[in-house]
Amino acid sequence: MVNGSNEMAFGTPSSPRKYMPKQLTAGAYIEISGDYDHGLKPGNYVKLDYQANDEVWIADISGPVWITKAQDKPGEFVKIKVILTGKNIYLTDINFTQGAKPQIGSASNGYPAKNIIIRNIDVTGGISVNGESADSASDNVVIYNSTFHDSGDVNADYDQDAHLVTINAFSSNVWLLGNTLHTASGAGLQIHGGFNNSHNTHSIYVSENEVYNVRQSGLWVKSGKNIIIANNHVHDIIDTPWSVSKGIGAQYEPDGLWIINNYIHGMKYGVRVASTSATKWRQKVYVIGNVIHDINALDSEVGPTASTSSWQPAAIHLASMHEHYIYNNLIFDAPNGINISAPSSTVIANNIILDVSESHQDGETGYHILAEIQDLNEEVFIENNYFGSNMNVRVRHQLFDSAAYLNDSLGANENLLGYNFINESNLSDLFKKDIANIELSQIQDRGKDIQDVFIHAFTLAFPTTSGISHDILGSLRDFGSAVDIGPVEVE
């Protein structure tokens, strides 16, 4: 396309167009050859408004618009932002380098984006899904099997907010699937960074992604409704002086946040919900079936380290929202297991919480559970959990060092005390389901029935689904009296 002409409506390999048309209809097919910048200076943008349909693809007649690299001389986008608006567009198998980046949708009124598929692309930098108003909303966007990397300077001494994937206001039915997000001076993913129109960003599904070597947080929600973050691998998140490292979490105005079956390690907080805004609705968070370990104590200059502060680093730290449902997680090698810093309604059930001996700066060991300002049987309920060696549970001012003592209290039932039978040396056996050498008899069929949350609450939020039916390894879960403790269904 670089040496082509714009005199013809359509190009061919032997006689290509110089620039992409700014408007196209169904059945168009574009191949990029060489470095493509649309004849613009670095940092400028081109807006491509393509109006296609979802019928079977027939050249120039029906189906989506395709944008891809040429087969004989593969090209890539360079130096400019490429804004895609319209409907039924496939962007596939092409790179963005030298400052180029893709953007789905536009903040300008009258330019919505619908049915956009992004797959198999490599972006040096980030991608954004935009909306900003009902007239420019983005809906039904899939970002699949792509790599986003090297956004900003991870050594910068200020907050660049150079996120890899940004999903903004008025974005709905967005699917972020099977991507690799790494090396950024910002989050791997940020969903709706503002306070307003939080319910207009909704139905976001984030799954099977790997996120690492990013600053502050791996996958983060600031506002949005019905967000599912499931089956991701989030690890090795970078601390900054202005924000400690978090794996997955939220703040401001999340409404219906589901954090399910993720593998999280290598940061100060595995799952964290920080301060949220006052809302007219009850904010609910579900933390289910995750494996969280290698959580590190705070450096001395960052945050509270007092031994009774629930704001210390933990595998799970929830500091706000109205309702917490913390089920079937595996936690070990952390300063604390589950910390609650809000007077919320909290159910902690079916979790395996083992080694919490990662020392704090003052030398104190941590808590398996620390509910700083809640009372048992009123705000917090602790049921059917398995605690490892040296059990240490604190609910408000009361300490519990045995399961029997804890179970004698109203609001606590069927908790078990055992030993630290899973660690980093045999965790891989658990993931391979080669668990013959791991003692699991104490957790098999010993859990609290989970149908109310896994099935009823989930299908109420997502009516077209059948609930949370699988564990972190993809095995079907048992329900009723056969439910197991922890993230893996024991066979």
- Rounded to an integer, what distance in angstroms lies between the CA atom of residue 4 and that of residue 299? 58
Q: Tokens 């979790």 map to which residue? A: 351
Q: Is the dihedral of CA 476, 479, 481, 485 positive or negative?
A: positive
Q: Say if CB 1 and CB 75 are below 8 A apart.
A: yes
Alpha-carbon dihedral 438, 443, 449, 455, rounded to 10 degrees: -10
pTM: 0.95
Strands 138-144 and 171-177: parallel
Q: Is the dihedral of CA 296, 301, 306, 308 positive or negative?
A: negative
Q: Does position 362 have pLDDT exceeding 80, yes or no?
A: no
Per-residue model confidence (pLDDT) at position 359? 66
Per-residue model confidence (pLDDT) at position 401? 95
- Rounded to an integer, what distance in angstroms lies between the CA atom of residue 139 and that of residue 129? 9
Q: What is the average per-residue pLDDT within 239-255?
A: 93
Q: Tokens 């002409």 map to which residue? A: 5
Q: Say if CB 324 and CB 358 are below 8 A apart.
A: no
Which of residues 364 and 448 earns the better pLDDT score? 448
What are the phi and psi torsion angles at 113 (to 5°)? -130, 130
Distance between alpha carbon 14 and the CA centroid of its chain, in Å?
45
- Rounded to an integer, what distance in angstroms lies between the CA atom of residue 60 and that of residue 143? 25
As a whole-number percent, the residues of the chain with pLDDT over 90 amount to 76
**pLDDT, tens digit, for every residue of 171-182?**
999 999 999 999
CB-based burial label for 134 (10 Å; 0-12, 13-18, 19+)? exposed
Distance between alpha carbon 233 and the CA centroid of its chain, in Å?
9
Task: Report DSSP state, residue 58.
Answer: B
Per-residue model confidence (pLDDT) at position 308? 77
- Rounded to an integer, what distance in angstroms lies between the CA atom of residue 355 and that of residue 315? 11
DSSP letter for each residue of 125-150: S-EEE--SSGGG-EEEEEEES-EEEE
The total of other beta-carbon atoms located within 10 Å of residue 447's CB is 27
Alpha-carbon dihedral 57, 58, 63, 69, rounded to 10 degrees: 70
Sequence-separated (6 or more) residues with CB below 8 Å from residue 434:
none
Q: Does position 304 have pLDDT exceeding 70, yes or no?
A: no
Q: Say if CB 33 and CB 76 are below 8 A apart.
A: no
Q: Tokens 């129109």 map to which residue? A: 197
Which residues is 90 bridged to in the sheet?
A: 66, 117
CA separation, residue 222 to residues 189, 192, 201, 340 (Å)? 11, 6, 10, 19
- Rounded to an integer, what distance in angstroms lies between the CA atom of residue 55 and that of residue 170? 26
Q: Rg for the chain (alpha carbons), in Å?
A: 24
DSSP letter for each residue of 417-483: E------HHHHHHHHTT--TTS--TTTTT-SPP-HIIIIIIHHHHSTTS--S-B-TTSPBPP-GGGP
Per-residue model confidence (pLDDT) at position 280? 78
Q: Where are the domains of the chain?
A: 1-145
Q: What is the average per-residue pLDDT within 406-411?
A: 97
Task: Report DSSP state, residue 267.
Answer: E
Using DSSP, state whether 293 is helix, strand or coil.
strand
For 139-153, 320-334, 346-360, which range has the lowest pLDDT when averaged over its residues?
A: 346-360
Per-residue model confidence (pLDDT) at position 358? 77
Which of residues 198 and 256 earns the better pLDDT score? 256
- Rounded to an integer, what distance in angstroms lies between the CA atom of residue 262 and that of residue 244? 20
Computed over every residue of the chain, the mean pLDDT equals: 91
For 117-121, 124-128, 426-430, which range has the lowest pLDDT when averaged over its residues?
A: 426-430
The total of other beta-carbon atoms located within 10 Å of residue 385's CB is 35
* Cα–Cα nearest to 211, from 154, 166, 164: 164
**pLDDT, tens digit, for every residue of 189-229?**
999 987 766 789 999 999 999 999 999 999 999 999 999 99
Per-residue model confidence (pLDDT) at position 481? 87
Burial 187-201 (b: 16+ CB within 10 A, else e): bbbbbbbeeebbebb
- Helix then strand then coil, in percent of the chain rounded to 5, is 5, 40, 50
Q: Tokens 């730290």 map to which residue? A: 317
- Rounded to an integer, what distance in angstroms lies between the CA atom of residue 283 and that of residue 279? 8
